[in-house]
Every structure is written in C-alpha cells, then in structure tokens.
Structure 1
Amino acid sequence: MATDPRAPASARQWHWATLEGQAVLATRNLSEILRLYRRTNRLTQTDLGVLLGYDKTYISLLETGKRILTDTGSLARASRLLGLPPHVLGITTAVDTDHQLVLQLGQSTVRLAEIARHSGHATDAVAELWPLVARLEARVADGHAERDILHLLAQARVGLGVALGNVLPEERLATAAHWTGKSLDIAAFFGDPAFSSHALRMHGNELRKAGLRGAAVNRLAHAASLAPDLDARVAVLPLLARAAGALGNTELFDRVVREAHQSLDSVAHTSLFNPFALHEVRLRGLVATGRTAAAIRLVENDPVPASTVAPQWRVIAMVTTAHVRLNAADHHGAAGMLTAAINEATIQRLPHQLQRVNRVAGRHLPDITTAGQEALNRLRQEIAA
C-alpha cells in the first residue's frame, strides 16, 4: 500500500538519511531525488503530484528532466514538502541556516555536557541537553531527518538519559532509561556497531538502575558482542558485571569480572574502567551473589583512587564499602564512610546515592539514616523547583 502523500513528513521514513539517500542528495539532481522519494514511499506519479501540487504529466516531465524548477518559491516549497535540506536544491532559507547552526552548536553541546557529567555536574549537563533534544526532535518531526541530524539526536538522547540517571531519584530512573532507549532505533538504522554498542551500553546501565535487571543484562551483553575493539568492549564489562551481580547470576558475574581484570594491563584506564572502579563492582557483586565473607576479605585491600575516577564513582564506592564494613560489624567505619558519602552526594546532587545510603544504614545506623533522608528531601525539593 502506498504511503498517503498528504501524510505529514514526520510519518515518512528517514529516506534521506540512508546511504542511497545521501548519494542521491549529493547529485543535487531533482529528477533523481523525486524518483527516489517515490520509490522509497511507494508512491505513484499521481500521488507525488497531489503532494507537490502538480499533475501527473508535470511530475513525469520533472522526473525525466524535461522540465526544471527554477524559482525560489517552488524550490523552497518542494524542499519543505519532501523533507529536503534546502541547499540541496540550490537555495538558502532560514531552515537551512538553522540546520547548520544546530549541527555546529549541537556537537559542542554534547561534548561539553559529557565533560560536565564526568566532572560531577550532571545537572548542568541536563540543562544543556534538554533544549537541544527538544529542538532536534521538532526538526525531525517536521520531516528534516538528515543523516547528521539523526546522528546528533541519538547522541543527545543518550547523553540526556545518562545525565538524568545521575540526578533523578530511584522512583524516576525509568525516565533516564526511556531517553537512552530512544537512541536505539537510530543506532539500528545506521547499522554502526561502534555507536550501537555505545547506545546499548548506556541504555543497559540505566535499565539496571531502574531495577530492570534482566533487560539490563540483555542489552549490556549485546553491547559487548557488538564492541568493535577491546577499548569499546572493556567499557561495557564493569556495567555488565554489575548488572549480572544485581541479577544474582554468579557465573556470568565471575566470568565478566575475570575478563575485566585480565584486560586492565591491555588498555588505557578511563573514569569507568580502572582498578578502583572494578574493585567497587566486585565488592557489590560479591554481596549481591551471597558471598559476603569474600567481600569482607576484599574490602581491606581498597586500591587508591586514580585521577581518572569520576567524582560520582567515589561516592558509589564509599556506599558500597560502607555496606561491606557494616556486614563485618564495623559500625564505626561504616558510619564514617556513609557520612562522607552523604556530604559528597549532596554536593554533586546525586539523590540515587543518598537513597543507597539510607538502605545501607537502615536500622543499624539510625542517625545516618536520618541525615541521609534529610539531605534527600532537600535535594528532591531542589529538583522539583
């Protein structure tokens, strides 16, 4: 069945973003562009004529090159109705100028937001990415689904979801997973293993934080399988190990942790993949899989945090280590670490980590639980505002 030629551009396929579409646009030949548009959308010449406001005979003449559009108004109208970048037809419009501006500023926004998140300023990252995502989605909904715009939208959605995963409390973490998940359709469309692995890795981790552990393991295992090189694969391993531990899959957890440790000397360390981060992942996984005694033995050998460790990872590690120390009946050591975690989580605006503090402290450390809840309440009020 043919696509309704009067349907809004947002309902049509991302045909201009395909490799074939890019090649046709590069010709700037209206005849080829019209033929591809009709073939992709399964339209007759009559259908296309209805869309563009011409009769079937004139469409045929345009497709064979026996007639050409020359006036700016007709070209601008055709570019709008076909979802074309106007410059392809040799004209410059406000839409085309906006397209170039969005690309230039958008890439910088995504990079700066990632830097802000890694440096402990996830709230600033959200503030930067939210309007960019809204602007890009509006552009795509209007039918301007160029390849570079789609790719930027996928990157921005991933960045927004991950940043939200840092600043939202647990009961709202599904929102973070929603945004990272919205990048997967574009990643699949491009068929780029590197970007697909990245998007699946980020989405899988947000699913785990939202409590969807089975789905998280599935996405993260897929990300590892798609990783194009060792650097990309080791970026997945700590997150996959953590999800496997949370799921209670001891065999998978042990296997992934073993591979991660074996790879430590083979790749450059990052804020996620380093001895300090892997130590925390292993501690938490041992507790989650019922091997508390092994975790207690391991906690005495805490590695010194490296300069590459992101600030939020230090908070995560403090809460995990405090949990293990509490299991070892070291109430004093656990209280000190949880107090430090509360202070740091408040500074970095990490409600999820404050909720972890409250769970760990529980009835064993009532003063810590009270302090953690008070800090969480203040942070929730700030978020609501």
Structure 2
Amino acid sequence: MVIVIIKICKYYFNVRRFMRPLEYLKELSFPRMGGSDSETKASRMITEWLTEFGYSPQIEKFDIYTYIPGRGSLKPLDTSLSEIPINPVGLSADCDMAKEIILLNIPEPEWAEKDELKNKIVLMPHPPRRKWVSLLVESNASAGIIVVDDIRIRAYRTLGQEVARDFGEKIPLATLGYKYAIGLINENVRRVHIKTEHKRFDGNSQNVIAELAGESERTIIITAHYDSTPSSPGAQDNAAGTVELLQLAKKLAGNKFYRNIRFLFCGAEEMGLLGSKAFVRNHIHELRNVDFLINLDVGGNPIAPVMLRTLGTDNLEHFIGGILKSKNCPAQVESDIYSSDGMPFARFGVPSVSIARAGINSRGHSPYDDYWQVSNRALMEIVDCAEIVLSAIADAKVLPFQRTIADEMMKKVDEYFKERE
C-alpha cells in the first residue's frame, strides 16, 4: 500500500509531467549529429521522458560510418585576397593541394566537358550527391568546392553512406559560402591552395521505440528524427518534431485503439535517413502489418502554415484533406514525396503523411536554428493536426483509404533513392 502511494505521489508531483512542449524543446536544442555522444545523450533523454509517461521504451542500435567535423582553408594564390574558411564535406577525402580552380555551373552532369575538369579544383553549386560526385571522380578532378548560402557558411554537408563507400576516399570535397565564391569570381582567381581535415570512423546510432498496444496485429507508426546536422542546435529541424511526438505519446498514454501505435524516434536521419532505413531492415517482416505512417519533421514556426505531404494514392490525399477540414484544422494538403523518414517505408508500400511547417525565416541545418525561433502554439497545432489524422485511422476496422502507393509516386521514390544512394 505504501509503495503504491509513493508511486502515485511521484507521478503527480513530477515536474516534467506539467512541462509544455517548448520546455522539452529547449532541453533538446543542442547539436545532435548522428553517431555522436550528444545524439546518444538525446536518445537517453527521450527514453527517460517516455518512461515517465508510462511506456517501456526500447533502444535499437545500428552501425553507421560517421565523422567528427573538421576545418579547412582556401588561399587564393594569384591575388591579394585573404585566406577563406571552408568546411570539409563529411566522409569525403582530406587534402592539402595547390591547383587551378574552375567554375562548373551546368544544370546536369551530361553537359560537362570532362577533360576541362581534369586535375582542377571544381567550384560548383550542386549538392554532393552521387551524380555530381561521380562526375568529379570520372573526370579526374582534384577536388570539389560546393557553394552554399551564406547562412550555412558554418554548416556541414555529408556524403550519403553509399556514396561515401564508393567515392569518399577518391575525391576531397568542401563547402564555401556564397559571398566568398563571388569574391573569387570577381577577382578572376585562377589558382588556389586548399587544405581540409576531419576524422572519419565507424560508429553507431540508435532508434528509440515505444508502443501503445492495440486490439489487433495492425499497426500505425508515428515517427520523428531527433538528430541534427553537425553544427546546428536543430530546434525546428527536428527537436520540434521530436517534442511533438513526445506530446502525442503523453496524450495517448493509457488509451487502447484497434491498431497498435508505435512511436519511432529515429537517429541519424540527417546522414541519409539511416535510422528509418535500419528500422525497416530490422523489422522487414512486420511491415506487412503496418497500415500507415505519420512523420513529423520540421516544425515550431508560428508564421508558416501547417503543410501535409501525402505519399500514397489520390484517395489518401482526399481523405486527410477532408478529415482536417471537417475538424476546422487549416492545413495545406498535397500529394508528393517528402525527404524524410517516411521514404524507406514507401519502398515497401507503406503509405504515409509528413506534417511540417517551414518557409519564412527558415534556419534549418544552420547554427541559427535555435529554440528562440519556436513557438509552443506552433508545436501544439501540429500535435492537434497529427492527433486528428491518427484518431480517424487508429480505430477504423476498415482502412479508409487504399494501403498502397500509386505508380507515379513510386517512380518518384525510386528516383529519390537513385540520386542519393
């Protein structure tokens, strides 16, 4: 009897029980790069909070190839311009070289004159995806310098795991801020010395999983990634989605639906959806029972409208749009792919909706994505939106839309992974 009373008192007097989502978000707003100690710290925080809500969360580790962000420099050799800071692209080769530099601003790799790139440092606006990295390697370029928005001068890009495996040690890559690139072009710089260095190693990340048991074997997964890019506190992207998912778990604790509700907090999303890929790989035989997935990625901006991207068929888009309208929940609903953790599930025919709010004053993937940009009201509006969608499906004996993905959408999914793997 005494033990029961103590447990009840602990529950009702636990300060965290009364915390608002924004307070959780402030605690999570620190860089949480995939495979880092800080990402592990975040996973433990999430596990602790879920336990306080009454769940028995599980941690599933998975292997990744990761790195410690480094530094680099670019020194123009034929002008009086000062040395310029550059950032190594994670998992690419390091270098210390002096070479001719050339601008490559073509729209697609097939436009390239490969002989012109040979033994040169290539300045380009394109992200380090397979087709561009492959072009540099096949052309025997010496290195690639990727121009990024000035707000991301201190941010880091990372090669996808498969691209790193195939090309990472073959080509040095780095990022350079737009204002510095303009200076190089205006000064007609022809030769530069670049140096980059960062540590690469085999490590691991982890997913955190909690479940609300239902009455059947059918399942709905609700997911959010809790990692961030290396230099970013990751408030909007994606501590926001993480605390929205925590809030849903807190609100739903103790309920029982027809379908199981699985809360999936993914690690290492920013390194190429590695957490969701690992979950799909480890639970592949369970996917036939997964009817639907709700993904929460990027949130907290009170100015931006709520945006939903459905990945399935037209009747999924119409169903979700209709149910939100009937509940007077203003949101923009469109059918399209969304670059986040719903994508690996789509490969196995699991339809999904991604819910986000971003746009004006976006600071994602930068050191400026901090908690002061986030509103508690904005977080709760997405929680309410997600709960409306979930409630309309969780207890339905017959799924109110087709559990399939249209052919034209699957083509987009295939093309998405072809570019990145």
TM-score (norm 1): 0.27
Structure label with greater radius of gyration? 1
**Larger RCO: Structure 1 or Structure 2 (Cα < 8 Å, ≥ 6 residues apart)?**
2
What TM-score results when the alignment is normalised by the length of structure 2? Answer: 0.25
Say which structure is richer in strand: 2
